[in-house]
Structure 1
């Protein structure tokens, strides 16, 4: 990982740069490019770390993605030994998902990589500006940064 933020001299249509969502999307892609783990897998592991056992449907709802995509994600994570999938004893048609110790280790390692990549991508901002960017992003999404 380079210690330099990405160059701003690449061409980006000003019509796109006027949209905050475009700029935030570019930051998201910048983080994604620096990680060795797909972000969606990290999101699943983080959700499971905070929620213990959940159903695949709960995961699909929380991630706001199609249930079939959750199945593919969980298949991959289960094969890697990062997640367990067991039948729900109350409803045998459902699966319960849980993070494994290996999944928790990967989640923690990826958190560190995300923080490091964020430092590089936001190097042009002061610590106060970074806090403001995060606080305003959360506010736009309907969250209070004091509750996180």
Structure 2
């Protein structure tokens, strides 16, 4: 991981940089490039850490991805010992997902790496600017920021 935020390259696509969504995408890619863990797997582990057991369909809905993609993700996480998948006793057609202790450790480690990478990418911003950026991003997405943890 580098200690410098990514610098804009020689090519400045002004036509694209005028769109906040493009800029946020570049920011996301810059943070993602510093991590050794696929973010989708981290999102699954984070969601499971915040919930009791949930179904694969509930995970697909929460992540807004196709159920077949969730199956592939869970297959990989289960094989690595990070998630358990058990039959739902009330509906044997469904599986219940839960995070394992190893999965929770990996989630916590990845959380720390994401914070570190975010600190690198947002180094040019003051803590107040970081909090403002985060709160405005949440607001733009329609989240009520009252009670949500916003790191600075």
TM tier relative to shorter chain:
over 0.9
State the shift of 1:122 in Å: 0.5
Q: What is aligned with 2:26?
A: 26
State the shift of 1:101 in Å: 0.1
TM-score, normalised with respect to structure 2: 0.95
2: distance between equivalents of 1:119 and 1:89? Answer: 44
**Aligned-residue RMSD, C-alpha:** 0.8
Runs of 5+ unmatched residues, structure 2: none
State the shift of 1:84 in Å: 0.2
Q: What is aligned with 2:74?
A: 74
Misfit runs of 4+, over 6 Å: none
Task: Spell out the pairing of 1:58-73 with structure 2 (5 A cutoff).
Answer: 58-73=58-73
Structure 1 counterpart SS, 2:146 = helix
Q: What is aligned with 2:110?
A: 110
2: distance between equivalents of 1:10 and 1:3? Answer: 20
1: distance between equivalents of 2:120 and 2:52? Answer: 32
TM-score, normalised with respect to structure 1: 0.98
2: distance between equivalents of 1:54 and 1:14? Answer: 44
Q: What is aligned with 1:88?
A: 88
Q: What is aligned with 1:122?
A: 122
2: distance between equivalents of 1:92 and 1:58? Answer: 16
Structure 2 counterpart SS, 1:146 = coil
Aligned length in residues: 148
Runs of 5+ unmatched residues, structure 1: none
State the shift of 1:29 in Å: 0.6
